[in-house]
Homo-oligomer: A and B are copies of this chain.
């Protein structure tokens, strides 16, 4: 990641080399040297500039990379480079993921068909600021580097930065988008309708991959959209939403399909911000369960329980304080999360 930041300054990427199983993090100067070597070997073989190679690693922290295996593997990898290789790449970057995550979309933009493809990995250690998530996007759009960077940041903030599996973040996270300009469209500039179209297309890709990461969240059986509105500011809304999305009691209640809204109230209460209990409205898929300072009774709770048995639903919370809002997707907390993480390395 340190290396990628340096290479990003140049703004040009031509190749990616990524390993899974070892994060090459907290490995000191030796680790940085290993990352450089990975990149340089790829550059030499492909006869491109070292600065145009991006290097990614994901897996266990604190263990040196097995360089002999990498040195052997890189030439073989390069011999197998081909268009359909993205499927193997999506598979290869997995760690605790149970399935590869990939998508490709096409849309006519500025007179030409534009394609965006993406692969991602992520399952545990998922929380805003991206956590243990790698996402690699490619597109043939014609766009300048600065506009692409800005667009990607906006879109990532509305997708990859809006999901939380376990509240953990990570040493290693990357979202990269490479554009080769082969679509031949008129150059896309910011604040044009073509730009809006491209941004929407990029959002479709990133949102899909982010949801795939949630759906494949460690041990997750459900995916829940938390819509927090009526907060005093966007920042406050985000804090409330993240507190809910990381509350083990809320997440175990979701796993058990228990309409125990008291846990939502308790989690809101400990978010560390002012709250007017009597103004809080809580609804599941639009059906209110809390209003005017009290629960709406067992009959409604029965209906909510049915909603909570579904694999995905929305919890909307209105605080009645202001106009700040924030949305986050999260998962339930289950036996399998414990199983996966109590024995990750053994």
Contact = CB atoms under 8 A, between A and B. Distances in A.
A338 B62 CA distance: 30
A69 interface: no
A253 B342 contact: yes
Contacts of A125: 249, 266
B169 A249 contact: no
A248 interface: yes
Interface residues of A, number: 53
Interface in A319-339: 333-335, 337-339
Contacts of A166: 248-249
Interface in A147-169: 166-169
Contact of A338 (B167, B258, B262, B335): B335
Nearest to A168: B249
B341 A262 contact: no
A43 interface: no
Contact of A249 (B124, B171, B256, B263): B124
Given A28-B293, A262-B25, A169 B342 contact: no
A117 B60 CA distance: 48
Interface string A55-67: 0000011110000
A277 interface: yes
A252 interface: yes
A236 to B, nearest CB: 17
B168 A247 contact: yes
A4 to B, nearest CB: 17
Interface in A58-91: 60-63
A258 B26 contact: no
A259 to B, nearest CB: 9
B344 A258 contact: yes
B266 A169 contact: yes
A260 interface: yes
Interface in A225-271: 247-249, 252-253, 255-256, 258, 260-263, 265-267, 269-270
Interface in A289-307: 290, 293-295
The 10 closest A-B pairs by CB, nearest first: A61-B262, A256-B342, A252-B341, A169-B270, A62-B262, A62-B295, A255-B342, A252-B342, A28-B293, A166-B248
